[in-house]
Structure 1
């Protein structure tokens, strides 16, 4: 019977592409890989085939995490092989989720962030790559990462198992990884990208209203600024901002209506500051601090000098300006 005469549902089933991966105990990486592939136009209706039989895998349109071959042209992606150096398909999915064109610079930006903060660890864990170059035992053990939680979805040693049970559990694992993948992606879309734009705008406005030198940045609302600031300083396309230029950042403390003055760290994750608040101010509070500084409304300066507080924006700005002089 010609395909045109077959019922539509059956023709569709016969036309579906297939994503191949290994059967048996499943892991986070292939559970996520199959989910991600099904978000693309090419594989949105694909069936997932779980097998280690080379003859079965050879019938699949694309194979991930099994097969001992890494060849992008043949669509064979076993990331355990030496040739595994690239990433694929992510840009299309990110562009869709952002609702923008594939060549939008934000797509590449989010793609790199998502790979670094979400995907890379999953690849590394599956390939047995240690997070630290050290033989010193870890101080504690964590089993709450995504790879560990996927592993717990496999049947326990004293539970019933078999191909049908494992395949059903694999679907649960794929859904779990997909949910968290999109949560991470949506965070960059809905929070991270707007914060990057806001920090750029606030750097410009700070130079106009608070400190033309750019050493003091005044943010009229709090935003996660550290990583954005360092990225902007390193961006050659933003010539008005120089590396190590910003020394203090001011922003409102939304909980209490006060203002904070925070020293910019030497790196986003460092506890060392480019210029801490003056040592003589550290650990001093309230009226005693106001008398010491000659600035009304002082609330505190942390004992390490990385942050201080004032009741008003003007007071916090005065603290930052005076700290620059000392």
Structure 2
């Protein structure tokens, strides 16, 4: 009661009083980046720092008043809640499978990610296998690219000139939130924009998490069952017929690990009742497929495609040959079957030449 007696609510106000009781997250002021924007969002999803106030400063005395410090301070010490990565000698990585040093986003995710994901999954145990699986998946899918870019590491070798520049990635969109050279550059505006950046990074993080939980995980059972039954639909074992359209690429890779026969095509029914024939990509190659649909079909649709392919319900084949459509399941299977015949013939010719 003595605490409340010493507070002049008419002077301080209830809002200011409760604000003062919140934990404080400290980060640097000035120009902001995607890594600390996400790090601040992640901290605010934890029990310890939920709804925390944000302090942006490089003044050690000011930062010393904070409960956790991220992306500033030249110290990485989880026991003291200090999470900087800029200092000489910092070599922290996510796990033994990753060679990229962590940014502040990776640091906070490494230490607090399981807590956040367990809450999102509504699981009481942070060490639950599903939490661990999503934790690893989200790091490599979402957080690692941010770590890499913050460390100046590109996805591909830099010897070749890029064929295009991507200005739509999360980091670039966040950098555009910083006040332009001809906008007012006062502290209040920059801090407001930082909060906007943190919300943007957090929104995309949560979207990725929920996509894995609500879509990717349930799809596993469908893909596994369809893979096990593949020989029922085509004797080659190279076609998978999904019982229901769902994310299949990652799960198919897992299914194929111990198989000597590679799946070339995945067939599924779309929501409009049409049937899709999708090619399976080569491992480690983003835009290369094991065996695209026949070259003579590519870029054709309807009557032109039907005449060339001899399949009455063929609808289209993309110009790059990675996907095609058909009116019915049987037509889609015929497209895959004819493409496999071409593949097998190509293999035979190669074997003869060798």
TM-score range, shorter chain: 0.7 to 0.9
**1:95 alignment partner, one of 118, 121, 124:** 118
**Cα shift readout 1:82-139 (whole Å, capped 9, x = no counterpart):** 2332422111112222223423333223222322232223233333333432243333
Gaps of 5+ in 1: 235-240
The equivalent residue for 2:71 is 65
Shift of 1:173: 2.1
Shift of 1:43: 0.7
Higher share of residues assigned helix: 2
**1:132 alignment partner, one of 156, 160, 165:** 156
CA distance in 1, matches of 2:179, 2:317: 54
CA distance in 2, matches of 1:307, 1:40: 43
**Within 5 A, what are the aligned runs for 1:1-326?**
2-3=2-3, 13-81=19-87, 82-86=90-94, 87-101=110-124, 102-207=126-231, 209-211=232-234, 214-234=237-257, 242=259, 244-255=261-272, 257-267=273-283, 269-275=285-291, 285-290=305-310, 297=313, 306-307=322-323, 309-321=325-337, 323=340, 326=345
CA distance in 2, matches of 1:310, 1:89: 47
Shift of 1:70: 1.5
- Which region of structure 1 is more displaced relative to structure 2, 116-125 or 47-56? 116-125
CA distance in 1, matches of 2:55, 2:320: 57
TM-score scaled by structure 2? 0.74
Shift of 1:261: 3.6
Contact 2:306 2:312 in 1 (8 A): no
Residues 68 and 251 of structure 1, relative CA distance in 2, 3 Å threshold: same
CA distance in 2, matches of 1:2, 1:72: 35
Residues 180 and 302 of structure 1, relative CA distance in 2, 3 Å threshold: closer
CA distance in 1, matches of 2:111, 2:26: 16
**Cα shift readout 1:171-193 (whole Å, capped 9, x = no counterpart):** 22222222222222222223222
TM-score scaled by structure 1? 0.79
**Cα shift readout 1:7-36 (whole Å, capped 9, x = no counterpart):** 696775554322111112222221221111
**SS of equivalent to 1:73:** helix
CA distance in 2, matches of 1:103, 1:111: 10
